[in-house]
Amino acid sequence: MGSENKAKIFEQFDKNFEYLKVKYNLLINSDIITREFEILIAGKSFKALLIFVDGMTNSESINNNILAPLMLKNSIKMTPSKQVKLNNVQKFNLQDFLVNKLISQNVVEISKDFEDCFGKINSGFTALFVDTLDVAICMETKKLPVRSIPASQSETVVRGPQAAFIESLRSNTSQIRKIINNENLIIENTKVGKITKTNVSICYMKNITNDDLVSEVKFRLNNLKLDSITSSGEIENLIKDNLNNVYPELLATERPDKTSNLILAGRVAILVDGSPFALIVPAFMLDFLVSPEDINLNSAFANFLKLIRGIAYFIAVLLPGIYISVTTFHDEFLPTELLLAISSAREKIPFPIILEIFLMELSFELIREAGIRVPSAFGQTIGIVGALILGEAAVSANIVSPILVIIISITAISEFSLPDYSFSFSTRIFRVIYIILGYLFGLFGISCGIFAHLILLFSYNSFGVPFLSYTSFKSYFVKPIWQNEKRSEILDTKRPLEEPHISMKWRNNEK
């Protein structure tokens, strides 16, 4: 920061006003509102100025809680023997009198330099400059436009809360605090970005979360030296351990209930103002196969669904590669009837199998991207056109074989069953790699790819915690809720025990 940005507030009213005119370009800025007036105290008049951003502040609050007390209720009535001598600083403090006896706003902060004052004005505060005071009295008058709390769109559940985060940071933190009704929940604020000064909140349980983890999160956030941050996705890419890792190393969720459960488990949540997603650290690979609905189901049902998702992940990554390797190098693995069916279906296909499968993959990616970008009213139409008309036409025109359409369809359905949207991107990348390995080297190439893939996963860390560890495998399948006695050992929490050995005392007749 330059010395100009750290300029101290002047005692002279005119100097402060001129500085504000220059810095805020008041001659051309239409949304920066200034209001000059005078404060009369014990027969002496003081020049005063209010400055705020129109659209970010509550006009009613400014009129009733700031202007009205300062302009209408500011006369000190005393007997002549007790008349206040304003020139005697020891007997009269103008700043304390304004803050403690006149201004009725609930949040009042004092800024001694212009940089701090500008940050508050830009976030919805109203600043008061008074002649003879070398500080600005900043009062919170925020009235930011926010949308109502919606249902979750990317993490839908049948049974469980439906609320999701929105773009308002304070609304999001209040949802978490509503769920975690405990004084040990800590929500610390920091600012990221020299220009945007984006508010970022760090949420954790003081009596549960490991102090080293909290310190590491603060260290990384406070050492981001850049001009602007506008979303949680940018934060995610700037603080992850392995910069070239295609897997997400931070768990992004838009659900307050999921965020709260992970905070109670000993993790740290990062919320960014303007983003409806929370970032959870650390994250394990198997976290991306867990649905928020799992904790609301019977453990047997939840484990069955987790098993299905695990199988779906392997299908989404390996099935096209295995298909191309078997049909190219290892046709002896197939029953004779199936082999003859595949061969006859491909007799009239003019392209090699690698080009055929990449053509189908590209077509499906285009349909998926179009379905996301077009208005929702046309989404179903895109699916019908892509899946039925183009698919049927491609098979009839002998561009692709029917069996390949089935393979790609099963792969797509498996990928859609994965709960995390970001995780599916890494699935697509590795699927392409396995397709190439299967085409060039057959099952031997795929086996080598799996071996290298596992080595890569075991080498990754998320905030110092192994991305793929034995502990995460052990905790993947949920126990019945009455057996969740311990938190994850790998997080090294302050309270390893989550519940006593006997939590349902009514069954044991204990009181």
pLDDT exceeding 70 applies to what percent of the chain? 91
Domain ranges, residue 225: 169-283
pLDDT recorded at residue 414: 92
φ, ψ of residue 192 to 5 degrees: the values are: -125, 130
Q: What is the pLDDT of residues 343-375, one digit of tens each?
A: 887 777 888 889 989 988 888 888 888 777 776
Which residues partner with 278 through β-bridges?
Answer: 253, 271
Say yes or no: 351 and 454 in one domain.
yes
Q: Which tens digit of pLDDT belongs to each residue from 123-168?
A: 889 999 999 999 999 999 988 777 888 888 888 888 888 899 999 9
481 part of a folded domain: no
Residues 200 and 271 sit within 8 Å (Cβ to Cβ): yes
The answer to whether residue 164 sits within a structural domain is: no
Report the distance separating Cα 130 and Cα 110, nearest Å: 12
pLDDT digits (tens, 9 = 90+) for 450-462: 999 999 999 999 9
Which of 251, 283, 315 finishes a domain?
A: 283
- Summarised one tens digit per residue, pLDDT across range 266-276 is 999 999 999 99
Residue 439 sits in the same domain as residue 327: yes
DSSP conformation class of 389: I
Tell whether 65 and 116 lie within a shared domain.
yes
User: What is the pLDDT, as a whole number, of residue 238?
Assistant: 93
Domain identity same for 131 and 197: no
Q: Which residue in the block uniquely carries the two structure tokens 């495998």?
A: 473
Tell which residue, 290, 283, 215, 211, has the closest CA to residue 495.
211
CA distance 318 to 339: 20
Sign of CA pseudo-dihedral 403, 409, 410, 412 = positive
Question: Can you state the percent helix, strand and coil of the chain, rounding each to 5?
Answer: 50, 15, 35
**Rounded to an integer, what distance in angstroms lies between the CA atom of residue 382 and that of residue 367?**
7
Number of domains present in the structure of the chain: 3
Say if residues 319 and 410 touch (Cβ distance below 8 Å): yes
Contact partners, residue 59, CB within 8 Å, separation at least 6: none
Specify whether 315 is located in the same domain as 450.
yes
**81: pLDDT confidence band, cut at 50, 70 and 90?**
very low
175 and 275 part of one domain: yes
My answer on whether 277 and 307 are in the same domain is: no
**Residue 505: burial class (beta carbons within 10 Å; 0-12, 13-18, 19+):** exposed
- How many Cα atoms are found within 13 Å in the side-chain-facing hemisphere of 284? 20
Predicted model pTM = 0.86
Q: What is the per-residue pLDDT across 286-308, written as a single tens digit (0 to 9) for each?
A: 999 998 888 888 888 989 999 99
Q: Count of CB atoms within 10 A of residue 199's CB?
A: 19
Q: Are residues 462 and 372 in the same domain?
A: yes
Residue 85 has pLDDT above 80, yes or no: no
**In this predicted structure, what is the pLDDT of residue 299?**
87
| Whether residue 309 sits in one domain with residue 275 | no
- Distance between CA atoms of residues 130 and 126, nearest Å: 13
Task: Kindly report each contact of residues 500-503 with a partner whose C-beta sits within 8 Å and lies 24 or more positions away, as own/partner.
Answer: none
Q: Are strands 278-281 and 465-466 parallel, antiparallel or unpaired?
A: unpaired
Query: Are residues 268 and 305 part of one domain?
Result: no
Residue 93 binned pLDDT confidence (cut-offs 50, 70, 90): confident
pLDDT greater than 60 at residue 105: yes
Cα distance between residue 84 and residue 77, in whole Å: 9
Residues 125 and 93 placed together within one structural domain of the fold: yes
State the pLDDT confidence band at 386, using cuts at 50, 70 and 90: low
Q: Do 198 and 106 sit in the same domain of this protein?
A: no
The residue from 283, 311, 330 where one domain ends is 283
DSSP letter, residue 168: -
Round the average pLDDT of the chain to a whole number and report it: 86
Q: Quick one: which of 375, 213, 193, 194 has its CA closest to 202?
A: 213
The string of pLDDT tens digits covering residues 165-191 is 999 998 999 999 999 999 999 999 999
- CB contact burial 14-29 (16+ within 10 A = b; e otherwise): eebbeebeeebeeeee
* Average pLDDT estimate for 192-218: 94
pLDDT digits (tens, 9 = 90+) for 216-225: 999 999 999 9
pLDDT at 10: 94
